[in-house]
Amino acid sequence: MISKALEEYLKTIYVLKKQNENVRVTDIANSMNCSKPSVNKAINILKDNGYLNYESYGTIEMTEKGENLAKKILETYDIVYLFLKDVLGLESKEAEKEAEKIKLSMNDNTINSLAKYIHKVLDLNNLDCDYDVNNERCRTCARREGLH
């Protein structure tokens, strides 16, 4: 398990990778508004934990393990954002800011329960298939129903 701060680095790398094939330390530092030494430290920890492949001054590649965790992090944000915006009625910008903060303190059980509640209230699809934020099959089912 990695820290919430490292999760943010991983999420940023994933998003940058989707926007541009080659991700470098400078790209991450610019995106997160932090120093290159901070990025290097985070990258090395993520590499040591099997989330990234990286050689100094090269491009940063995500492992399958890293990509799966990054997707989970983004999905958690989406679930919290939907709750704040569509269930509680917060304005989009406020919901975005609050979702970033709230998701950092939620565990998987809470996220799973919140996801089931949101899908029920918004009538998006039936999550009686034992939805689990860690289970790719259920995310695929949700996407097939047009959630993402």
CATH code: domain of residue 13: 1.10.10.10
Based on the domain organization, do 41 and 14 belong to the same domain? yes
Strand partners, 62: 52
CA gap 27, 22 in Å, rounded:
9
CA gap 40, 34 in Å, rounded:
11
Q: Which residue has the higher pLDDT, 139 or 76?
A: 76
Looking at the domain assignment, is residue 21 inside a domain?
Answer: yes
Q: Report which of 70, 77, 71, 146 is spatially closest to residue 115, judged by C-alpha positions.
A: 77
pLDDT band for position 103 (50/70/90)? confident
- Residue-wise pLDDT for 50-95, tens only, equals 999 998 888 899 999 999 999 888 888 888 888 898 888 999 899 9
Number of domains in the chain: 2
Looking at the domain assignment, is residue 86 inside a domain?
Answer: yes
pLDDT of 125 reads 55
Considering only 39-53, 54-68, 96-110, which range has the smallest mean pLDDT? 96-110
Res. 147: pLDDT tops 70: no
Based on the domain organization, do 83 and 26 belong to the same domain? no
Q: Residue 79 is part of which domain span?
A: 72-144
Residue 31: strand, helix, or coil: helix
Evaluate if pTM is beyond 0.75: no
Ramachandran sector of residue 57 (left: φ over 0; alpha: ψ -120 to 50; beta: rest): left
Based on the domain organization, do 90 and 134 belong to the same domain? yes
